[in-house]
A = this chain, B = another copy of it.
Amino acid sequence: MSHHLLTVDSLNRESVDHLLRVAARMEPIAQRRQVTRVLEGAVLGNLFFEASTRTRVSFHAAFCRLGGSVCDTTGFTFSSMAKGESLYDTSRVMSGYCDAIVMRHPDQGSVAEFAAATNVPVINGGDGPGEHPSQALLDLYTIDKEFQRLGKSLTNAHILLTGDLKYGRTVHSLIKLLSLYDPLRITLVSPPGLEMPSKLIDLVASRGHRIEQRDSLASDFADLDVVYTTRIQKERFTDEMNESFQGLSDDFMVNRDFLDHRCSQSTIVMHPLPRDSRPGANDLNVDLNGDPRLAIFRQTDNGIPMRMAIFATLLKVDELIEQDTRPVRWYVPSQIGTLDR
C-alpha cells in the first residue's frame, strides 16, 4: 500500500486483504467493547472543502477511537485559499500541523495534487467525480462480513449493481475492488443513458468475472446475494432521458416487493447513502426499513472499523492495537444487532 490512499487503483489483492483483516481486528473497539490509546498525541486534519457530514464524522470518530485528536475544517472556501493560496502551500502548511490528513474537495485531482506536496499520509475523502476509496473499501468489507454471517463465500457470488451506474463513483470504485476477488457474477441494471462505462465492464470481464447487463429489475434474481443500489439523480437527465424514464422508473425500484418476489431471504441490500427518502425520489424504498436484509446501516457502521484500519495501516500501528486495549467503562447501548437489525 502506498504512502497515501488516493485511489482504489493503487490497491492490489494483498493490500485490500490486509485492510479487511485489520478492520476485523478493529471491531471490538468500533463496537465500543474496548478502547485504545495507540494514536495518542496524533492529530488528524479533517479538511472538507465540500460539506459531507456523514463522511467527516465517520473519519473523525474513527481517528478518535484510535486515541487521536481531530481538527475539522469545513467550508467551500477556506480563508487562505480565498486569498490565492495554492494547494501546494496549503498542503505544506497543514502537514506541519497534522500527522494525517483527510481531504474532500469538489475538484477531481485536487486531493492528489495536495498529497504530492507532503509526506504526511493523505486520504482522499472524495474529490468530486473522482474517487472515494474508503467508501469502496467499507462496501467490500460489508459484503465480506455479511457473507461470513450468512455462511456464504465470495466465490461465484452474484452481485447486482443498479441505479445510476454512469456517474455513481462509488459503484465504479467498488467494482474495481470486487474484480480483484474470486470469480463473481455481476449484473448491471440501469436506465438507458446511465450505463456503467464500457471501460470498466471490459476490465471486470478481463479479470475472469461473468458480467451481464439487463434493462430492468423485472426478471428473476433468485440466486442474488447482494443488491447494491444508488440513487438515480434526475438532475443528470437530458430532456429525452427524462421523458423515457417516466414510464420506466418502476423497473428500477428496489423495494420490499422486489426483494420478496424476485430475490431470496438471504439477499442483502446495500446503498452508499445518503438515501433520498422524499416521495418520488427514485431511491431505495423506505418500505424495507426494519427488514433484516436491509444492510445499509450495518454498512455505515462498518465505515468505522474500515477507516480505523486505513489510519492504523498508514500510520503503522496496525500491529500494535492488540497490545493496547482496555475494556470500555461506559454503558454501551445494544445498538448493534437491535432495533430493525
Contact = CB atoms under 8 A, between A and B. Distances in A.
B41 A53 contact: no
Contact of A57 (B64, B73, B121, B338): B73
A257 to B, nearest CB: 20
A155 B173 CA distance: 60
A84 B279 CA distance: 10
B61 A97 contact: yes
A317 B331 contact: yes
Contacts of A330: 38-39, 42, 99, 315-317
Interface stretch (A162-170, A187-195, A258-266, A296-304): A296-304
A277 B93 contact: no
- The binding surface of chain A is classed by DSSP as loop
B69 A64 contact: yes
Given A57-B45, A64-B43, A118-B335, A96 B317 contact: no
A97 B58 contact: yes
A53 B120 CA distance: 18
A-side interface size class: 35 or more
B89 A339 contact: no
Interface string A39-55: 11111010000011110
A64 B71 contact: yes
Contact of A117 (B80, B314, B339): B339
Given A64-B71, A72-B72, A88-B289, 8 more contacts: A3-B333, A32-B99, A43-B60, A43-B65, A57-B94, A85-B275, A86-B275, A99-B332
B297 A317 contact: no
Interface of A: 3, 29, 32, 34-43, 45, 51-54, 56-58, 60-61, 64-65, 67, 69-73, 75, 78-81, 83-86, 88-89, 92-99, 117-121, 273-278, 281, 283, 286, 289, 297, 300-301, 303-304, 314-317, 320, 324, 328-335, 338-339
Question: How many monomers of this protein are in the complex?
Answer: 3
Contacts of A52: 79-80
A148 B118 CA distance: 26
A335 B95 contact: yes
Given A54-B80, A72-B72, A338 B61 contact: no
Contacts of A335: 95-96, 118-120
Contacts of A281: 84
B273 A93 contact: yes
With most chain B CB atoms within 10 A of its CB, the pick from A53, A84, A119 is A53
Contact of A320 (B70, B119, B329): B329
A41 B328 contact: yes
A32 B97 CA distance: 10
A216 to B, nearest CB: 24
With most chain B CB atoms within 10 A of its CB, the pick from A41, A88, A281 is A41
